[in-house]
Amino acid sequence: MGVVIHVWGEAGSGKTALAVRISSSLSEKGFHVIYVSDRLPRGVWGNVERVTFLIISEACVLADLSDMIESLVNPRTRLVVIDTVAGLFRHLARTAKLRLLPVMCLRLRRLAAEKGVSALLLNEAITLEGEEKPWEGNELERYSDFTARLRKDDGKHIVEGISLDRFLPREALDALEVAA
């Protein structure tokens, strides 16, 4: 069964690098990955023929994006990456963000439950009243199975909140440390 994992962190914490490594690992093992972003991320992609890139723009409407994702899922699909949720919603008006975020999350949860496709929702950190929080964190946490914070400390990527190796390939997580 698939899961929806919400990973958040500040710029440079390694969210995209983590997603690229996980995607590469899965594609090298023969699985299909759908990678949604507003730009093509750099990195080593493994078997790129098994990765479908959806590059979003202001013309993209979330309802259509959810339809596109669902239409691309096949029996070998194991992961949908949204990199980043905040970047995706910057392309839409504020009222549309609030209305369509739950729709997209619910559809990803349904894919996880019905087809075993996991979703990795990468999210930016914002600072409110001196405290670092995930962008639209409460909304995303409500629709995610797990939430983890990714941060960088002395050049190491540290995951706080969950143990990602329960859900993701070990070789994709080699450079990460889990905070106690």
Residues 103-157 pLDDT 10s: 888 889 999 899 999 999 999 888 778 888 887 767 788 888 888 888 888 877 7
Amino acid at 19: A
pLDDT of residue 42: 74
Q: Give 119-147 as a 3 state SS string.
A: EEEEEEEEEECCEEEECCHHHHHHHCCEE
pLDDT of residue 176: 52
Q: Please name the helix (run of DSSP H) or strand (run of DSSP E) that holds residue 163, with its range, or none.
A: none
Residues 61-115 pLDDT 10s: 666 788 889 999 999 999 999 998 877 776 665 555 556 777 888 889 999 899 9
Asked if 153 and 19 touch (Cβ cutoff 8 Å), the reply is no
Alpha helices in 6-93 (DSSP H): 15-28, 62-72, 85-90
pTM, two decimal places = 0.84
Asked if 104 and 49 touch (Cβ cutoff 8 Å), the reply is no
